[in-house]
C-alpha cells in the first residue's frame, strides 16, 4: 500500500470518530404521568363507610283492605227487640255466646219503624217513603241482588214457612213484610229470577246437600222464631239449628265468610249517624266469622245502611242510596 492511500484511510476513520463523539448520549425515556382515573384511592375507614352509605328505605306496610272479600255473606234477621232485651238475656244463651265469642256491634241502630222499611233499607239503601207494613207498595228501583248478579255472584233469600218460591201475600206464620226482595219490581216481575232466588227455608237443606250455597244469603225466621210473636228462647233455639248447619259448611269451604245476626228494629226511637231524629232503636248485631276479632266489642255508631255499605265495599259494588252517605260509617274495626 502506498503512503497516499494509507493517508486517506486514516483521514476517513478520524472523521467517523469525530462525528460519533458529537452525538448526544442516549437517555432513558421520561416516565409518563399516572392517569388520574387510575390513581390508587385511599382505603376508607369503617366509620367513613357508615357515614357515607346510602340510607336503606324502610318497607312500607301493605294496607289492609277496608273489608275482606268474603266468599259468602249470610244475614239472619230477628224481630222487634232492643239491645238491652237481648244482650245478657238468659233467654238467648246461644246468641250471647256468639256475641261474646266473636264481634258485637254495641251502637247499631235500626232505620225506622215499623218492620218493612227496615228490611228495605238493608238491601235497597232507602225506605222509599214507605212507613207501614203494606203488601202492595212495590218499588221500581235497583237493589243489592242486582249488583250482586252484575258482579258475577249469586244470591238467595230463604224465607221460613214461605209456601212456595216467589209467593206473594202472607200466611199464619209467613209474613211478606219480612221479605224485602218481593217488593222490588226487577225481582218480582222476573218469574224465572224470582222462582230461583226467593225460596222457602227448606231449600237451604237441599243447597247444603249439593254444596251449592249462593254467595249472598238472607235468612228470615217465621213470625214465631223471629221472636215477633214468640219468646226469645224459641228464637235462640232456632238460631242454633241454623248455625249448626251453616257454620261447618262455610268453614269447610276454606274461603272467608261472614254471618251477620241482627234485628230489624228495636222498641225505642233511638237514632244515630244521619238517621232521622226518631229512628228504629238500638239493636244487637253480631258478626260471626274467622275473619273477625274474637271477644271484641265495636262501639262505633252504625245503622242498617252501614251493613249495606260494608257488603258493597267487600265486593266492590256501587253504593245504593243512603249507604253512600258520609254519615253512614263503613264497618272496619272488627276485621283482623
Q: In the predicted model, is pLDDT for residue 25 greater than 50?
A: no
Q: Higher pLDDT residue, 51 or 296? A: 296
Cβ 79 vs Cβ 222: under 8 Å: no
Q: In the predicted model, is pLDDT for residue 48 greater than 90?
A: no
Residue 185 parent element (H or E): helix 185-188
Q: Higher pLDDT residue, 260 or 35? A: 260
What percent of the chain clears pLDDT 70, i.e. is strictly above it? Answer: 81
Residue 173 to residue 170: CA distance in whole angstroms: 8
The confidence band for 223, taking pLDDT boundaries of 50, 70 and 90, is very high
User: 156 - beta bridge partners?
Assistant: 217
Among 33-47, 260-274, 282-296, the range scoring the smallest mean pLDDT is: 33-47
Q: Is 118 helix (H, G, I), strand (E, B) or coil?
A: helix
Residue 80 to residue 34: CA distance in whole angstroms: 95
Residue 147 parent element (H or E): helix 144-150
Residue 239 to residue 284: CA distance in whole angstroms: 14
What is the reported pLDDT for 254? 94
Residue ranges per domain, the chain? Answer: 72-324
Among 38-42, 124-128, 196-200, 310-314, the range scoring the smallest mean pLDDT is: 38-42
**Chain centroid to CA 114:** 31
Work out the average pLDDT over 175-180: 98
Q: In the predicted model, is pLDDT for residue 269 greater than 80?
A: yes
The confidence band for 37, taking pLDDT boundaries of 50, 70 and 90, is very low
The counts of H helices and E strands in the chain are 11, 9
Work out the average pLDDT over 236-252: 98
Work out the average pLDDT over 131-143: 98
Q: In the predicted model, is pLDDT for residue 190 greater than 60?
A: yes
The confidence band for 51, taking pLDDT boundaries of 50, 70 and 90, is low
Cα torsion 187, 191, 193, 194 to 10°: value is: 60
Comparing CA positions, the residue from 162, 166, 122, 129 lying closest to residue 145 is 122
Work out the average pLDDT over 133-139: 98
Work out the average pLDDT over 253-265: 97
Q: Whole-angstrom distance between the N-terminal and C-terminal Cα of the chain?
A: 125
What is the reported pLDDT for 64? 66
Q: In the predicted model, is pLDDT for residue 11 greater than 70?
A: no
What is the reported pLDDT for 161? 98
Question: What rounded mean pLDDT belongs to the chain?
Answer: 88
What percent of the chain clears pLDDT 90, i.e. is strictly above it? Answer: 81
Residue 74 parent element (H or E): strand 72-78
**How many CB atoms are located within 10 Å of the residue 233 CB?**
15
**How many CB atoms are located within 10 Å of the residue 137 CB?**
15
The confidence band for 14, taking pLDDT boundaries of 50, 70 and 90, is very low
Q: In the predicted model, is pLDDT for residue 111 greater than 50?
A: yes
Q: Find the radius of gyration of the CA atoms of the chain.
A: 42
Of 3.40.50.300, 3.20.20.105, 1.20.900.10, 3.40.720.10, which CATH number belongs to 72-324? 3.40.720.10
Digit-coded pLDDT (tens) for 57-95: 566 666 668 999 999 999 999 999 999 999 999 999 999
304-315 helix and 115-124 helix, angle to the nearest 10 degrees: 20
Residue 108 to residue 99: CA distance in whole angstroms: 14
**How many CB atoms are located within 10 Å of the residue 27 CB?**
6
Q: Higher pLDDT residue, 43 or 271? A: 271
Pairing verdict, β 103-109 and 282-288 = antiparallel
Residue 33 to residue 29: CA distance in whole angstroms: 12
Amino acid at each position: 500500500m502506498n503512503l497516499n492511500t494509507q493517508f486517506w484511510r486514516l483521514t476517513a476513520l478520524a472523521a467517523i470518530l469525530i462525528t460519533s463523539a458529537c452525538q448526544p448520549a442516549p437517555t432513558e425515556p421520561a416516565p409518563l404521568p399516572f392517569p388520574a382515573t387510575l390513581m390508587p384511592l385511599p382505603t376508607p375507614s369503617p366509620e367513613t363507610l357508615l357515614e357515607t352509605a346510602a340510607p336503606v328505605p324502610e318497607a312500607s306496610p301493605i294496607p289492609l283492605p277496608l273489608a275482606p272479600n268474603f266468599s259468602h255473606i249470610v244475614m239472619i234477621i230477628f224481630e222487634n227487640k232492643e239491645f238491652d232485651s237481648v244482650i245478657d238475656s238468659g233467654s238467648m244463651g246461644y246468641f250471647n255466646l256468639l256475641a261474646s265469642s266473636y264481634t258485637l256491634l254495641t251502637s247499631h241502630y235500626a232505620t225506622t219503624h215499623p218492620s218493612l222499611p227496615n228490611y228495605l233499607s238493608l238491601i235497597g239503601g232507602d225506605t222509599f217513603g214507605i212507613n207501614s207494613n203494606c203488601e202492595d207498595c212495590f218499588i221500581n228501583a235497583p237493589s243489592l241482588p242486582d249488583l250482586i248478579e252484575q258482579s258475577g255472584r249469586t244470591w238467595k233469600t230463604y224465607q221460613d214457612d214461605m209456601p212456595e218460591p216467589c209467593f206473594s201475600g202472607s200466611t199464619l206464620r209467613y209474613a211478606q213484610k219480612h221479605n224485602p226482595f218481593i217488593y222490588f219490581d226487577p225481582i218480582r216481575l222476573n218469574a224465572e229470577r224470582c222462582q230461583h232466588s226467593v225460596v222457602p227455608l227448606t231449600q237451604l237443606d237441599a243447597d247444603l246437600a249439593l254444596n251449592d250455597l249462593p254467595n249472598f244469603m238472607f235468612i228470615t225466621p217465621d213470625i214465631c222464631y223471629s221472636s215477633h210473636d214468640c219468646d226469645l228462647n224459641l228464637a235462640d233455639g232456632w238460631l242454633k239449628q241454623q248455625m249448626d248447619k251453616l257454620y261447618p259448611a262455610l268453614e269447610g269451604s276454606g274461603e272467608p265468610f261472614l254471618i251477620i245476626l241482627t234485628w230489624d228494629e228495636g222498641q225505642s226511637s233511638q237514632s244515630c249517624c244521619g238517621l232521622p231524629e226518631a229512628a228504629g232503636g238500638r239493636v244487637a248485631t253480631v258478626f260471626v266469622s274467622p275473619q273477625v276479632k274474637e271477644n271484641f266489642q265495636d262501639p262505633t255508631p252504625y245503622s242498617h245502611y252501614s251493613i249495606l255499605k260494608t257488603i258493597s265495599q267487600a265486593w266492590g259494588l256501587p253504593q245504593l242510596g243512603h249507604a253512600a252517605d258520609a254519615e253512614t260509617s263503613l264497618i272496619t274495626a272488627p276485621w283482623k
